[in-house]
Amino acid sequence: MSGPYCNLSDLQSLTGISTNRISANDMNVIITQASREIDAYLTPYDYAATNDGATISAACLKLAAAGCAERGWLDGSHPTSLTVGNFKGQFDPDKASTMLRADAWELLRQFVESQIVRVNIHTKRVYTV
């Protein structure tokens, strides 16, 4: 693994999760796991992710946010409701995790697709008589 592909401050900014709810150490473990999942996804394609890639960083943040939702679901610390502006709704960590992971895998699929060099080869057919 070439390093974590996102960082703690970006994850906290994205999720709004403070270190009072999930410790910084635990969040870093979640980020490391997200980075490992990215490496595992890219290995069969023989691609290496880089720390400076926006797509890889975005995928890492989504996987890490999913990891935080799963952690909250497992230890019971997730909120039961969510308020964003005038919207208030029930928080479903399983649905949140599923959607975040799907978004991350789509970003990684697009990354792999962008790495493929498309070559058109035209060959002459030579007939011998």
Domain-embedded: residue 128: no
- The residue segments making up the domain with residue 13 are 8-115
Domain-embedded: residue 38: yes
What sign does the dihedral 18-21-26-30 (CA atoms) show? negative
This prediction's pTM: 0.77
Number of domains the chain contains: 1
Domain-embedded: residue 127: no
Q: What is the pLDDT of residues 32-63, one digit of tens each?
A: 999 999 999 998 888 777 666 789 999 999 99
The pLDDT score that the predictor gives to residue 34 is: 95
Question: Is the per-residue pLDDT at 82 higher than 60?
Answer: no
The pLDDT score that the predictor gives to residue 78 is: 65
Q: E strand or H helix at 79, and its extent? A: none
The pLDDT score that the predictor gives to residue 129 is: 63
